[in-house]
Amino acid sequence: MGNYESFEYDVLVIGAGGAGLRAAIEASAAGVKVALVCKSLLGKAHTVMAEGGIAAALANVDDRDNWKVHFADTMRGGQYVNNWRMAELHAKEAPARIYELEAWGAVFDRTNDGKILQRNFGGHQYPRLAHVGDRTGLEMIRTLQDHGIHQGIEVHMEHTIVTLLKDGDRIAGAFGYDRERGRFKVFKAKAVVLATGGIGRAYRITSNSWEYTGDGQSLAYHAGAELIDMEFVQFHPTGMVWPPSVMGILVTEGVRGEGGILLNKEGKRFMFADIPDAYKSQTANDPEEGWKYTQGDKNARRPPELLTRDHVSRCIVNEVKAGRGSPHGGVFLDIAWIKEKIPDAPERIKRKLPSMYHQFMQLANLDITREPMEVGPTTHYIMGGVRVDAETQMSNVAGLFAAGEVAAGLHGANRLGGNSLSDLLVFGKRAGEFAANFAKEHDPGEIHDIEIEDGAREALEPFEHGANGAGSSEGPYQVQNALQEMMQNLVGIVRREEEMVRALGELDKFRERSQRVAVSGHREYNPGWHTAVDLKHLLTVSEAITRAAIERKESRGGHFRDDFPNKSAVDAKMNIVLSKAADGSMQIRREPIPEMPQHLKQVIEEMK
Ligand SMILES: Cc1cc2nc3c(=O)[nH]c(=O)nc-3n(C[C@H](O)[C@H](O)[C@H](O)COP(=O)(O)OP(=O)(O)OC[C@H]3O[C@@H](n4cnc5c(N)ncnc54)[C@H](O)[C@@H]3O)c2cc1C
């Protein structure tokens, strides 16, 4: 083995967002030696950007809420291809995780009688999102970090893991480098928890941060773990569309939760024209009923703007395609109109949506208390990811766990807003607990030099191309940009077989290009090099999304096929599973979703 700095832990957590921090806290509390590795500074993980809130059936604002309604909402939103056991655990355990966060110091907004306040969000039948203005993720990270720091967790921030290390069929650790100096490091661990987040940077228009290059999904896949549901990518309906430099940045669903409405260029509130059958009985008859719902009237039903994200996104795309879009290719989102209803509307908007107010003021020079915003769909979240056991979060690789956005199952074909932050807490805790158990029950695996040397050689190849000109003169950004453009155009919101088959051909070419990219300079402070390293992951997840999307010949949730616009009764019962074959190719197979037990079927029936 090269002369690399080496560390030894019981549990190594990769990722310091909500899932990673929660897992590290739990593992550490179980008395094992834990380390946390993350690409950015501690406290800067993507979770910090979360705005709207954390979903949990606390029933503080509407006492009709309970785990059963939350479970049924999650399954309906996921269009019944969810892992029902994960959905059950999530709905049952989320309230306890919120109270725990409160006990650790999270300062949630309050009801008049001092309880944790909850707000409306798309697809949730009752006000369910515990929140801190529109800066909930910041509060969550701050709280977990403060708590975690006192647990004796070792932190390696600004480090990128490039490969997982295995001993036979089990995990043995991970190999990576520090991003400042470029020095390689070996992390030996009895158990590894992946908490690396999503894949949004595979697309041109995205709300996701630079960290979202699909590393965890790809690391797991190359280590032999299975991926499922990769076709289900969520395009959030409201991203900024103007100016171009900020295209894709999220406009929280909280705007619609507070009464914001969607209008086309003719001023028509188009969402009332298309309400799916599954939601008809829960949707307002008219704008007045919708307004009352957003203001907490328990007898009113939700406005159609608060239907699920996949549906609202497609309605926006349809308006734009029909020539009724806004000047910059989106539609209008209007919260300023509420001044017709309440006298102190501008103050209320600034108080309830402070980040949105500043975001539009600073980035678009637009005052949302006076004018409508221009918004359009943006790549936001991936429901698919590493296949895990519902109880333990362990993948099919012994000792390799996954939690948070990198893992799959809970959200099925479409995630409800707010259900990610609760997912991080519920399954982050479980992953930490079971990883610690695994570490206690197993000796360390052996580290094989060859894996480390292969990882180092592969990571350093772009310098070779830069130095001797053996590759092309192409830099990693050119390949990354072209890949994002291709995925946006060929495997985006509306998909067609022939386009996706073309995308597979393009991916082959991108793979060749990525193997020849050149970076100059040296390993210290070299963002070009980091981008070159990330390309492998972007290509792996792009291929996984494309292959799974071709295989699912129906439209469901985030996956919409122009050539198969309806749901299929056969596909309704299937997961699409991807794994790496012995020859290195991506293998795809269909697997029946296990039958839901009678008591959960009954819950769904009761909640219809
Ligand atoms: C703008 C915005 C608003 C949102 N609002 C909400 C909301 O209100 N409610 C809600 O429920 N959801 C919301 N979401 C979704 C939610 O924020 C994310 O799904 C969630 O935060 C993901 O958390 P995570 O812990 O899985 O990963 P993250 O918080 O993304 O953390 C990933 C960690 O992994 C690290 N990492 C990645 N790759 C590597 C590597 N190779 N080596 C080392 N470290 C690595 C990163 O550095 C980071 O520390 C929002 C998303 C966005 C973009």
Backbone angles phi, psi at 453, to 5 degrees: -65, -40
User: Ligand 1 centre from 52 Cα, in Å?
Assistant: 14
Amino acid letter, 500: M
pLDDT digits (tens, 9 = 90+) for 237-264: 999 999 999 999 999 988 999 999 999 9
Q: How many CB atoms lie within 10 A of CB 249?
A: 18
Pair 349, 258: CB distance under 8 Å: yes
E strands, 138-218, where?
Answer: 154-157, 159-167, 170-178, 184-194
Nearby residues of 438 by Cβ (< 8 Å), 6 or more positions away:
190, 191, 394, 398, 399, 401
Res 37: pLDDT: 98
Pair 220, 397: CB distance under 8 Å: yes
pLDDT tops 70 at residue 299 = yes
Nearest partner of 10 among 157, 148, 154, 144, judged by Cα: 154
Q: Indicate the pairing of strand 494-495 with strand 560-561.
A: parallel
pTM for the complete prediction?
0.94
Which residues line the pocket of ligand 1, CB cutoff 6 A?
Answer: 14-20, 37-40, 45-47, 49-53, 136-137, 159-161, 176, 195-197, 207-208, 211, 215, 250, 381, 404-406, 417-421, 424
User: Ligand 1 centre from 588 Cα, in Å?
Assistant: 27
pLDDT tops 80 at residue 471 = no
DSSP tag of 226: -
Express as a percent the part of the chain with pLDDT over 90. Answer: 92
CA distance 533 to 453: 15
Protein residue whose Cα sits closest to atom 14 of ligand 1: 50
- pLDDT-derived band at 470 (thresholds 50, 70, 90) equals low
- pLDDT-derived band at 72 (thresholds 50, 70, 90) equals very high
CA atoms within 13 A on the CB side of 293: 27
Res 1: pLDDT: 56
CA distance 342 to 345: 6
Protein residue whose Cα sits closest to atom 35 of ligand 1: 15
**Residues acting as catalytic residues:** 236, 256
Residue 604 in tokens: 């769904």
pLDDT digits (tens, 9 = 90+) for 440-469: 999 999 999 999 999 999 999 999 887 655
pLDDT averaged over every residue in the chain: 95
pLDDT digits (tens, 9 = 90+) for 148-190: 988 889 999 999 999 999 999 999 999 999 999 999 999 999 9
Res 3: pLDDT: 80
For residue 3, give Cα distances in angstroms to 48, 273, 456, 478, 530: 36, 65, 12, 34, 22
Q: Which helix (H) or strand (E) holds 529?
A: helix 527-551
**Interval 405-420 mean pLDDT:** 97
Res 500: pLDDT: 98
pLDDT tops 60 at residue 7 = yes
Nearest partner of 424 among 446, 403, 397, 402, judged by Cα: 403
- pLDDT-derived band at 395 (thresholds 50, 70, 90) equals very high
- pLDDT-derived band at 101 (thresholds 50, 70, 90) equals very high
**Interval 44-71 mean pLDDT:** 95
